[in-house]
Structure 1
Amino acid sequence: MAGNSFGQLFRITTFGESHGEAIGVIIDGCPAQLEVDLDFIQSELDKRKPGQSKITTQRKESDTVKILSGVFEGKTTGTPIAMLIPNEDQRSKDYSHNTDVFRPSHADYTYHSKYGIRDHRGGGRSSARETAARVAAGALAKLLLKTQGIEIVAHVSAVGKIKAPNVFIENAQEFIDTREQNIVRCADPATAEEMIEYIDSVRKAGDTVGGVVSCYVKNCPVGLGEPVFDKLHADLGKAMLSINAVHGFEFGSGFEGSTMLGSEHNDIFIAAQGDESVKTLTNFSGGIQGGISNGMPIEFRVAFKPVATIMHNQQTINAAGEAAEISGKGRHDPCVVPRAVPIVESMAALVLADHWLRNRNAKLA
């Protein structure tokens, strides 16, 4: 099946299914001599793993990652890096009721129509379980970007109609520390409590709700991104829209920018005091102009739909095209965004690592 690889120079290929033996990723193109902090990689996976709290799926997976190749004496060797994450808590029987029935708004029907076969156990390859492999690879990309001072932070900025105010925390670690103090991963504590209460009420009602993750890239240098088809925001958009349940992506002023006048929207250039860099008074461009990073913080938002599995009876059809009824069973997130934060950060890191490597050949020194 095509479409399992991402990136050009920093390239990943993920493998595995929700209820198979394991999931994993092969990373090719990571420069040699990068110090690999396995504890950091595991901590990133811990933020995504299931069973974290009352507002996430109760599937229990340790998501313990094992590096099989490409690392020697704690450093990358420049050869392909293979990471494996065993599946430990499969309950395939939870999906016996939908062997031949298509769940509404899932990938069941489209996979069956395209391939003539599908793994009905949790959706197989279409399951969000696959994103653990991306987080493992993204953590390595973060370590590479950190050598250049580039930092990526995200948080849950909306759940349903509950929206957090704009949060400005200059220090990336302080931002993360604040976010991690609550189970919904919102950097505004007051809004977080409201979000948690709402998600829990939705869960008790057997329903689900969507939300938004806002992401910020700090200290990104000028010049990342290509001028035509591989614009930085285009690749970020593709990366985010490849995440399960994502239905929208916007950067900078986003859709709101379409309501503004050019005289309001233009980011005026100014010479920054104390260094030779160029800044802008505003950042409606979201740190990207002409598809290339301009040195300002990169800002974008990712919209997630409600999880498709709900604990209500729903009308559907079976593989024979006959009318059928289905009710959600098993362990599912009432709202995906708390666990999506590290996934968004990881996909951003993969894009930026790839473009940073590509940019090194942009001009003669």
Structure 2
Amino acid sequence: MTTTDRTDHEDIPAIALDWHRAGKGAVLATVVETWGSAPRPVGSQLVVSGAGEIEGSVSGGCVEGAVVVEAMDALADGRARILEFGVSDDEAFAVGLACGGRIRVMVEPVGAQIPEAMLAELVAARAAREPIAYVVDTESWTRRLARPGDAELGETLAARFRADRSGFEPDGRTFIAIHNPPLRMAVVGAVHIAQPLMVMARLAGYDAALIDPRETFGSAARFPGERIIDDWPDEALAAFGLDARTAVVTLTHDPKLDDPAIEAALRSDVFYLGCLGSTRTHAKRVARLKERGFTDEEIARIHAPVGLDIGAMSPAEIAIAIMAEITRVLRKGA
């Protein structure tokens, strides 16, 4: 059994599609349920080729090895199946669990079960940063794709997209795998707060970019390893792209830099817009935005002063407050 050197480990569906089209065969294994300790959350995926190549992960240790064996059997017989692994605390470490628990893994061969056209549509949606869900009835093994606003699933699906929560419906047979675009964050202003904020954003899973046309501020020496865009904020955000999986934070206090970014964000469907500044500073900001034609409802989307009120003092503490507020909005809504 070998592992490929492909770097985009998280794009498991695309790897599965490539392997299937190359004639290697491909089987997708998905964590569909967990109890107790589990190293990988529901929705995590592993792909196995007929040549024994693997990418991704559903657990670890003996559990993963058993899934690979079942995947090879699925390629041979063309059937989907759900596997269940349960272990005691004493056995947990050997099978890749921190302590006792159970996991269920759905194994589906591409082509024989998952239609190639359906997988291709899912891969295309992911590449276009469009949220999409894979819905499978684990008794009849019928499948379909769903998007936000799907009439049949309604608010249930909306809540799953918002929370990034894959899982079974109350009927116990319908599994919904959520495929949201990766989270992104644009931080405007290479100030002290941005230094810990960029690190925290990456740790929280965001593809973060720092925007500041002032080269002295936005230097690699001050922000080693970070993605720095030295264009003016409105131009930078247009190139970066703003969508419902993007957060924007402005930190400069300078209207020449902050305001173009704020206006661009308000004209988009970013899920979060936070702006540094006191209540007095924000009042002046609101007045400027009204002069520019923005409505009270649009302006109310701004979180200002930015961050949860936790009494933060240092740049790192303020960054914690900002990340906490972004997380609350992402998971619970504005």
Alignment TM class, shorter chain as reference: under 0.3
Task: Looking at secondary structure, tell me which structure has more helix per residue.
Answer: 2
Larger Cα Rg: Structure 1 or Structure 2?
2
Q: Please give the TM-score of this superposition, normalised by the length of structure 1.
A: 0.22
Q: Please give the TM-score of this superposition, normalised by the length of structure 2.
A: 0.24
Relative contact order, higher structure (CA 8 A, sep 6+):
1
